[in-house]
Amino acid sequence: MIDNLALLDPKFAVQVLSCTKRPNLLCYLAMHQDYSEDFVSNEFQKLSGYSEQELGERIVRNCINKNHWGILEHPSISFNVINFPHSVMVQARTHRVGITFDCQSQRYTSQRILRLAKQLNESTENCNQLIEEVFYFRAIGNYFDREGNKYFYSNSARNNDILFTRKAIEHYADKVNNLGYAPEHARDILTQNIRQHFVVSFNARSLLHFCDLRLPKDAQPEIRNLSILLLNCFQEWMPEVATFYIKKRLGKNLLAP
């Protein structure tokens, strides 16, 4: 597992929904067709007898190691991305080739905000904890801007941000419950740190492309967290390719494969 970047939030999670069952076999068949005189489906039964490990080692040795990544476009994997802030979803969706998204809509999921507003109205304890179930705030500590300038995110600054978000939650609930606003109109005043779940599907090559661009140290820490979780799942799914990638490309700002 890749563990060189601690999770910024214990609520961040990625779960595999579906994946190609024998990704290395599929990649090997694609690679083999490139130089086979016959059609490779004739050899499917024979090649199916090889283990995924053996086939993975072959595709790394004969193709990936020579910088031929195209065969990785055949297998696919789908994830549920959970509890990341809206800003990460927006960044992730800039990647379009070989990737498909379905994101939680703020038009149809108003009840979680309304429930939170009701809880805050009824409770005088653990209000910050309740808010952080639905909204994300960075931990107290040192951070850097894009120019490398260091700044400190203090406890008082964080509490002020939580208070600001609480006011937005209460205003949202008032608009929907008392003024008859549609959720898609009321959402305009919600802060961008709202947690927004989504489903994303990659082909194997596009997933590594994503990691090439989102794992270097100059990427934003939240989307680096997402990339680490995705790559951990990839390592379980295609371990031989993942081992090569981690050794040769991880975080090195190389052009995407």
Mean pLDDT of 206-219: 92
Helix (H, G, I), strand (E, B) or coil at 110: coil
Distance, in Å, from the CA atom of 132 to the CA atom of 14, rounded to the nearest integer, reads 18
Structure confidence by residue, pLDDT tens digits, 49-78: 999 999 999 999 999 999 899 999 999 999
- What stretch of H or E contains 202? strand 198-203
With cut-offs at 50, 70 and 90, classify the pLDDT of residue 43: confident
Find the range with the poorest average confidence among 42-56, 73-87, 161-175: 42-56
Distance, in Å, from the CA atom of 226 to the CA atom of 93, rounded to the nearest integer, reads 13
Distance, in Å, from the CA atom of 180 to the CA atom of 182, rounded to the nearest integer, reads 7
Position 251 scores a pLDDT of: 77
Position 252 scores a pLDDT of: 77
Chain centroid to CA 131: 22
The mean pLDDT of the chain is: 93
With cut-offs at 50, 70 and 90, classify the pLDDT of residue 4: low
Mean pLDDT of 213-221: 89
Distance, in Å, from the CA atom of 4 to the CA atom of 250, rounded to the nearest integer, reads 11
| Among 176, 165, 93, 174, CA closest to 133 | 165
Helix (H, G, I), strand (E, B) or coil at 244: helix
Position 42 scores a pLDDT of: 86
The residue count for the chain: 257
Position 222 scores a pLDDT of: 96
With cut-offs at 50, 70 and 90, classify the pLDDT of residue 191: very high
Position 133 scores a pLDDT of: 97
Max Cα distance, the chain (Å): 74
Contact 241, 59 (CB under 8 A): yes
Position 36 scores a pLDDT of: 80
Distance, in Å, from the CA atom of 203 to the CA atom of 78, rounded to the nearest integer, reads 9
| Among 184, 191, 200, CA closest to 109 | 184
Helices 111-122 and 155-177: angle between axes, nearest 10 degrees: 110
Does residue 2 carry a pLDDT above 70?
no
Position 38 scores a pLDDT of: 85
Position 1 scores a pLDDT of: 53
| Among 162, 207, 237, CA closest to 1 | 237
Does residue 243 carry a pLDDT above 70?
yes
Percentage with pLDDT > 70 across the chain: 96
Mean pLDDT of 228-243: 97
Q: Which amino acid makes up residue 190?
A: L
Residue 220: C-alpha distances to residues 200, 223, 236 (Å): 19, 6, 25
With cut-offs at 50, 70 and 90, classify the pLDDT of residue 255: low
